[in-house]
Structure 1
């Protein structure tokens, strides 16, 4: 019997900062399947780090209360002993990788639990088989797609055999088929092996028949009450993409193809990216979506030709090309240059290609729309994942390159934030006649605001027909 309980807890990120939680009482039911929801920045990731014992050791201050595992303060347990009982998957999976290959990472995680060396290879093989990852054993982690990295990170977390498994946005970059398979595995771990599953997710798809307890962070009252499971039965109807292609284009590729190592990801393909429109680029994890963006932004070698205003991109200097093609990276923190949010936005304003459009008044309105007003003086790397995404997207929209490529800009966003981000992208792209493509595995709230969809599958790009 493993009990994890929070009693009368008050936690803040600094002595002068208001508390994230105030006299919080929270008790996970042993052997249950739990889901945590709430707006971006409300404290969901903070709660998970507290439960895992990372806070206050690595950040913040507890002024009252305790977090106990079987009546022992979590923070007093040595790391390997704590990990045997509580495993945490971070929102950004790459932050948990310490080794080069998938096999090395799994082995490293198990070694840190001080398992018998002779048993580790068997556990590694069984884990790879359970998650259908055998073909990834020797692959380099940093060469994998974001969704593949999430699958590896989740498999590593579960391989540790912990009693309580905390998963912070574990499916943000995973395609829908992969998401359902992983949820099935997690339910099996709960039912057959008595594991306690606690997931933080903004996408409620697929949880209706799985969840025992649904919690929502009440940021206003700094509590985490259990709420009705009825919330999970409300599923928004997905509207089809419009598939209305504007014929006006200043950016195109001809017979474009590329590989990842020796594997062909795209066979020769030609397309004109229309102006003033948002296109959705879809496809399974590992199909080559992010690699396409890397090719178009000249971060990767390719075959064929890319043209801007009828001029071959190879004839344009790389520094100038970066002013033409902007990429919103999958990992927000890779894009930040300044330490604080206000400075990040100001830097984009100073370098904007459309300073007359991005006036102080328009920027202030966008900050308010994205609910970033209260975090402008906060450190970028201490923001929630959702806040980082919104800051990143706004900064790149202010830069306003004529071609904008958005790689999973909506991952980890709650429904309201997703809507606000999509509306801001749509308006900016239309007003400034930008050509844009957006990668997203989240479809609800997205397809109704994009103009067309390109599907990357079987090494081919296809313009999808509206359903």
Structure 2
């Protein structure tokens, strides 16, 4: 059978660079395969995708050597429009793809360019929207939809073109866990029913592996370094060698001393099985491991920094208006890290606006070190509380990186020598010091995220509110940055993580509060919250793979299994930090 995509000794060098970004690539992708291209940021996977869909060389020029064949034909002589008939692309940010005023118009856009007959066009639009469950939104504006709905419309637009290859570039980046699970299920259903070739580029390992994958292609420093089935690469522990996260339940089994060589069906926690002769021994070994779990530390009530009591808020002044936040109560202590979990629209960002003073509560009280801050201005609150938005483009105002970080200090009249020191320190901390004299436009989305954090960090707040801090970050940058956050927390800075990233909550939060429909529906240890299926389903989160594994294996206390993992992760991080400090001495 002829490959649908074939790279032969392929390399590409951007015009502005001295070295190739992808090099020596040899890869055949067969018709109907489902491929996951994985690797850390800068590994070359997105560049490889741009070569497939034609953005290289038509949008990004450079030097190509070797061959790239689509359906057996060399692509060098084909226009980007011709390539789009074979390759449909769904981008990380669906807003960047929308061109129509309504959902229906947007799905029909490429067919209009191809002069498809009106009757056939309408049939294909309806069919595509129905397939992704979005037919009822045909007359609605695409920008008014939720993140998951936008991704579905983008997918419908590609399906309507009848392209044989579907290329997904970070499709889950802006989706909450429930929407991400639905999106991956939808992609898999389309793959099964249409027989199309599917190529995924995505950081969220467990979400991708939740549905069948034929092969994983791992890239590092521009080259393909490993190719294999999920079972092969997971059993061999290959993913962590290249900056990718191993599924959490496999890490937990490693902590418990369980060897993966005697296990099978490793891709999903519910399916993992052990060889018959070791099955009972392994279960007893896990139970023995979790029996030594330390209790999670309780909050120090005597050192409360921020205290929220019975706060409600509505966007309308009408007496009968529905509250977006309803009688919310929780607190954050000095040096504490709290994860505020919930799906898109749960009320998390509204609550952060109440804390920072952007909104005024309809009722209730917010206190800072015991003082009611109802009369504090936004500027006064900003001296104590820093807020970093989810989208860095909504915060950045300066052309140059150094100027962006220095802006807040300049507004406060900080002298030049002190300003220089603090700017350099914040850039070092956020991994941006080598780019300090670059224009902001040269940064990736993940780097812009770190820049927006640096611009607040430089002001030295006591509490930092981070809205989806890990969005757009690969595992290496996520770990480096969150380990730094842990260090600041140990020094007394407090953090509120507004997130639907379960991994962040498990690995870095002391406690978790869960919001749904404007209310706090749970506030407890992270292990207890994320092991409770009732809570996670109500909040459109996803029960952690750790507790799903524990329940599938009949472990007596799934929450304790999760807590054992958390404790081991924290000990491991402390040990690594200690070794790092020792190596610097």
TM-score, structure 1 as length reference: 0.82
CA contact (8 A) 1:38 1:217 kept: yes
Change (3 A) 1:424 1:296: same
Per-residue deviation, 1:76: 5.0
Q: Provide closer, same or farther for how the CA distance between residues 377 and 34 of structure 1 changes in structure 2, counting only shifts above 3 A.
A: farther
Q: Relative to total residues, which structure has the larger helix share, 1 or 2?
A: 2
Please give the alpha-carbon distance, in whole angstroms, between the structure 2 residues aligned to 1:411 and 1:255.
28
Q: Secondary structure at the match of 2:458?
A: helix
Provide closer, same or farther for how the CA distance between residues 295 and 345 of structure 1 changes in structure 2, counting only shifts above 3 A. Answer: same
Pick one of 384, 389, 392 that aligns with 1:329: 389
Please point out which of 302, 308, 311 is paired with 1:255. 311
Q: 1:288 is matched with which residue?
A: 347
**1:397–1:425 contact (8 Å) kept in structure 2:** no
1:205–1:235 Cα contact (<8 Å) kept: yes
Structure-to-structure mapping, 1:409-420, within 5 angstroms: 409-420=469-480
Deviation at 1:213, TM superposition (A): 1.4
Contact 1:296/1:306, CA 8 A, preserved across alignment: no
CA apart distance, 1:243: 7.8
Matched with 1:439 is 498
444 and 113 in structure 1: CA distance in 2 versus 1, 3 angstrom threshold: farther
Distance (Å, rounded) in 2 between the aligned partners of 1:124 and 1:282: 36
Matched residue of 2:311: which SS?
Answer: strand
Instruction: Please state if 1:271 is matched with 2:330.
Output: yes
Q: How far has the Cα of 1:418 moved from its partner?
A: 1.8
Point out where structure 2 has 5 or more consecutive residues left out of the alignment. 236-245, 253-292, 529-585
The within-5 A match list for 1:44-193 is 44-70=45-71, 72=73, 74=75, 77-108=78-109, 110-112=111-113, 114-133=115-134, 136-137=137-138, 139-193=140-194
SS at match of 2:166: strand
CA 78–12 in structure 1, closer or farther in 2 if over 3 Å, else same? closer
CA distance in 2, matches of 1:300, 1:75: 55
Task: For 1:322 and 1:105, locate their aligned partners in 2 and report how far apart those are by CA, in whole Å.
Answer: 41
Deviations 1:426-461 (A, max 9, x none): 333453533x32133332254131021121124421
Summarize the Cα distance change of 1:283–1:64 in structure 2 as closer, same or farther, 3 Å threshold.
same
- Rounded to whole Å, the distance in 2 between the matches of 1:141 and 1:132 is 14
Tell me, yes or no, if the aligned pair for 1:242 and 1:450 is still in contact at 8 Å: no
CA RMSD of aligned residues (A): 3.8
Describe the superposition over 1:94-118 as per-residue Cα deviations: whole angstroms up to 9, x where unpaired: 2223345544433445534544333
**In 2: Cα distance, 1:25 partner to 1:285 partner:** 41
Q: 1:224 to 1:263 in 2, by over 3 A?
A: farther
Query: After the TM superposition, which segments of 4 or more aligned residues of structure 1 sit over 6 Å from their partners?
Result: 238-241, 260-263, 351-358
Aligned twin of 2:227:
227
Which residue does 1:212 correspond to in 2? 214
Q: Distance between the aligned counterparts of 1:398 and 1:92, measured in 2?
A: 29
Taking structure 1 as reference, are residues 190 and 384 closer, same or farther at Cα in structure 2, changes over 3 Å only?
same
Q: How does 1:233-382 map to 2 (within 5 A)?
A: 234-237=246-249, 244-247=298-301, 248-250=304-306, 252=308, 254-258=310-314, 265-294=324-353, 296-297=355-356, 303-304=362-363, 307=366, 309=368, 310-313=371-374, 315-320=375-380, 325-347=385-407, 359=422, 362-363=425-426, 365-367=428-430, 370=431, 372=432, 374-382=434-442
CA distance in 1, matches of 2:139, 2:351: 24
| Partner SS for 2:363 | strand
Partner Cα distance (1:260, 1:78) in 2: 52
Distance 1:260 1:74 in 2: 56
- The number of equivalent residue pairs is 460
Scaled by the length of structure 2, what TM-score is found?
0.67
Where does the alignment leave 5 or more consecutive residues of structure 1 unmatched? none
- 1:460 aligned residue: 519
Pairwise CA distance, 1:464: 3.2
Note if contact 1:148-1:174 (Cα within 8 Å) is conserved in structure 2: no
Deviations along 1:130-180, one digit per CA (max 9) or x if unpaired, are 333456555554444545544444444444432111111111232333323
Q: State the SS of the aligned residue for 1:205.
A: helix
Seen in structure 2, the aligned counterparts of structure 1 residues 56 and 98 have a Cα distance that, compared at 3 Å, is same
Q: Output the CA distance in 1 between the equivalents of 2:358 and 2:85.
A: 41
**Greater C-alpha Rg:** 2
2:21 matches 1:20:
yes
Q: How has the CA–CA distance of structure 1 residues 125 and 210 changed in structure 2, closer, same or farther, with 3 Å as cutoff?
A: same
Q: Distance in 1 between matches of 2:409 and 2:56?
A: 35
- CA distance in structure 1 between the partners assigned to 2:74 and 2:406 by the alignment: 44
Asked whether the equivalents of residues 335 and 493 of structure 2 are also in contact (C-alpha less than 8 Å), the reply is yes
Q: Distance in 1 between matches of 2:433 and 2:470?
A: 19
**Structure 1 counterpart of 2:582:** none
